[in-house]
């Protein structure tokens, strides 16, 4: 959270090397946990499709249930525990929950640090599991939001390209129509100026081209 930091040279060097290997391993672990959560949701949706012969409804229902369950387990219910054990308000506890799971970790709120309070032995262990699975769940939600933003951006780019292509086609059509009109005007002028012979000569050169 930033409330603890190494004070010796050896501790700082160890922290650097530990972070170089620990951060990628932590990201891999969180990604695997998130994928297991997503796989569980997909399998549940598949079972619902087989039982009730739903297709779109089953997937939408399971995604909604997973989202609501995650919100309850990781963001809405834990603040009640923190309010009870730490003496914080619900708003402060919710703020701590989001700041922790989103890996922002300011350190302005940290559990188990109040010397005036007695904490049960299971408290920090349960909170550690909550942090692990909650970070994986929130990372999965953020990843879905990123995919939605990228897909909407690609959709906008495709629309922009199609509009530009249609404008280019219209521009080419206008140019071709203008060229045809010029040829016809030239033929009329040649006919009036040079008579049938002049018009015949101009038509022959055009056909040759």
Mean local confidence (pLDDT), 17-35: 94
**6 band by pLDDT with thresholds 50, 70 and 90:** very high
Q: What percent of the chain has pLDDT over 70?
A: 72
Residue 181 lies in a domain: no
Residue 146 has pLDDT above 60, yes or no: yes
Question: According to the model, what pLDDT value does residue 183 have?
Answer: 45
Q: What is the reported pTM?
A: 0.68
**55 band by pLDDT with thresholds 50, 70 and 90:** low
Residue 93 lies in a domain: yes
Residue 107 has pLDDT above 70, yes or no: yes
What are the two backbone dihedrals, phi and then psi, of residue 106, each rounded to the nearest 5 degrees?
-65, -35
**60 band by pLDDT with thresholds 50, 70 and 90:** confident
Question: According to the model, what pLDDT value does residue 176 have?
Answer: 55
CATH code, domain carrying 146: 1.10.287.70
Mean local confidence (pLDDT), 160-171: 65
* Domain range for 97: 9-167
d(Cα 133, Cα 127) in Å, to the nearest integer? 10
Residue 201 lies in a domain: no
What are the two backbone dihedrals, phi and then psi, of residue 115, each rounded to the nearest 5 degrees?
-70, -15
Query: Which string of b and e fits 103-124 if b means at least 16 CB within 10 Å?
Result: eeeeeebbbeeeeeeeeeeeee
Can you give the chain as a three-state secondary structure string? CCCCCCCCHHHHHHHHHHHHHHHHHHHHHHHHHHHHHHHHHHHHHHHHHHHHCCCHHHHHHHHHHHHHHHHHHHHHCHHHHHHHHHCCCHHHHHHHHHHHHCCCCCCCCCCCCCCCCCCCCCHHHHHHHHHHHHHHHHHHHHHHHHHHHHHHHHHHHHHHHHHHHHHHHHHHHHHHHHHHHHHHHHHHHHHHHHHHHHHHHHHHHHHHC
Residue 90 has pLDDT above 90, yes or no: yes
**140 band by pLDDT with thresholds 50, 70 and 90:** confident
Residue 133 has pLDDT above 70, yes or no: yes
Q: Quick check: 111 and 99 in contact, CB under 8 A? A: no
**208 band by pLDDT with thresholds 50, 70 and 90:** very low
Domain total of the chain? 1
Residue 79 has pLDDT above 60, yes or no: yes
Residue 42 lies in a domain: yes
d(Cα 144, Cα 34) in Å, to the nearest integer? 11
Residue 179 lies in a domain: no
Residue 49 lies in a domain: yes
Residue 191 lies in a domain: no
Residue 189 lies in a domain: no
d(Cα 9, Cα 186) in Å, to the nearest integer? 89
Residue 199 has pLDDT above 70, yes or no: no
Q: Quick check: 147 and 140 in contact, CB under 8 A? A: no
Among the listed ranges 118-122, 189-193, 205-209, which one has the minimum average pLDDT value? 205-209
Question: According to the model, what pLDDT value does residue 59 have?
Answer: 73
What are the two backbone dihedrals, phi and then psi, of residue 114, each rounded to the nearest 5 degrees?
-85, 115
């Amino acid at each position: 959270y930033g409330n603890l930091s190494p004070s010796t040279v050896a501790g700082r060097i160890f922290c650097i090397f530990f972070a170089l290997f620990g951060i990628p391993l932590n990201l891999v672990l969180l990604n695997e946990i998130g994928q297991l959560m997503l796989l569980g949701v997909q399998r549940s949706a598949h079972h619902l499709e087989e039982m009730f012969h739903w297709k779109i409804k089953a997937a939408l229902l399971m995604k909604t249930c997973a989202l609501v369950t995650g919100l309850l387990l990781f963001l809405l219910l834990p603040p009640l525990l923190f309010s009870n054990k730490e003496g914080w308000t619900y708003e402060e506890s919710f703020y701590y929950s989001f700041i922790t799971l989103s890996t922002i970790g300011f350190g302005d709120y940290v559990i188990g640090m109040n010397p005036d309070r007695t904490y049960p032995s299971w408290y920090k262990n349960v909170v550690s599991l909550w942090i692990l699975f909650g970070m994986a769940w929130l990372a999965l939600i953020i990843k879905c939001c990123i995919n939605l933003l990228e897909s909407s951006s690609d959709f906008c780019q495709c629309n922009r390209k199609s509009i530009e292509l249609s404008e280019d086609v219209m521009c080419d059509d206008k140019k071709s129509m203008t060229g045809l009109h010029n040829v016809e005007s030239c033929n009329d002028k040649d006919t009036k100026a040079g008579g049938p012979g002049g018009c015949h000569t101009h038509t022959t050169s055009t056909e040759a081209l």
